[in-house]
Amino acid sequence: MTRLVNKTAIASAFGRAATTYDSHAQLQRESGTLLAKMIEGREISTVLDAGCGTGWYSRAWREKGCHVTALDLSPAMLKHAALNGCADCYLEGDIEAIALSQKQVSLAWSNLAVQWCSDLRSGLSELYRVTRVGGCVAFTTLAAGSLSELHTAWQAVDEQSHANHFLPFTQIQEACHGWRCSLQIHEITQYYDSVISAMQSLKGTGATHLHDGRKTSLMTRQQLQKLSLAWPQKEGQFPLTWQLVCGVIERD
């Protein structure tokens, strides 16, 4: 499935979040931990961290003794990663057009980045291309059903979509067709004390950018009150649920 995605706007949204990203990146940590378990025990020497963000996992791989290339669409994110010395090389660019020759790395690692691709198959194909035979592509992405509470609440406010819709799991499976691939799906729910803190967690990681390119506007006090009342609560807290897909593609 191909969709129109404004990559410049995505880079800007994540760039604005560069300084706050790590303090709101609980989901990214959890997803990376689940993905790492899928490739435990493999011999990995060279890593492409595609969609590296602030470089948290770039640094983790480097500390394991790997040579790491950090790739991100956002110059601000790359700058943040470079200032922290997270990788050996830094590459500004798009996962769907990676400026590396083929068979360069033993692991192409992409944690919660390929959901921003115009075409998932295109992004995964590029990761596959730059991976050496015998290596693997390890990725996480989000599936349909994510942010269900947010969608439900906004429907009660103005019936417009204020959050992204992600590909159904079946379409993610189709994007991996023809490769030796293992996929897992996990439901992860995070809880917040208020609607504001839930929304701030999204904004803090840059995830408020909408796939269709519309800008998110500031909420009025009345909208915020309606949103709070309509949000499905659990024991007085405001949940945000994610459908997380972890995948490992073997490079043949």
Q: Is the pLDDT of residue 18 over 70?
A: no
* Domain spans, the chain: 7-250
Question: Per residue in 198-249, pLDDT tens?
Answer: 988 887 665 665 555 445 566 788 989 999 999 999 999 999 999 999 999 9
Question: Per residue in 52-100, pLDDT tens?
Answer: 999 999 999 999 999 999 999 999 999 999 999 999 999 999 999 999 9
What is the 3-class SS of the chain, one letter each residue?
CECCCCHHHHHHHHHHCCCCHHHHCHHHHHHHHHHHHHCCCCCCCEEEEECCCCCHHHHHHHHCCCEEEEEECCHHHHHHHHHCCCCCEEEECECCECCCCCCCEEEEEEECCHHHCCEHHHHHHHHHHCEEEEEEEEEEEECCCCCHHHHHHHHHHCCCCCCCCCCCHHHHHHHCCCCCEEEEEEEEEEEECCHHHHHHHHHHCCCCCCCCCCCCCCCCHHHHHHHHHHCCCECCEEEEEEEEEEEEEECC
Question: Per residue in 149-207, pLDDT tens?
Answer: 999 999 888 867 677 889 999 999 999 999 999 999 999 999 999 999 998 888 766 56
User: Which CATH entry fits the domain spanning 7-250: 3.40.50.150, 3.40.50.11610, 3.40.50.2000, 3.40.50.300?
Assistant: 3.40.50.150
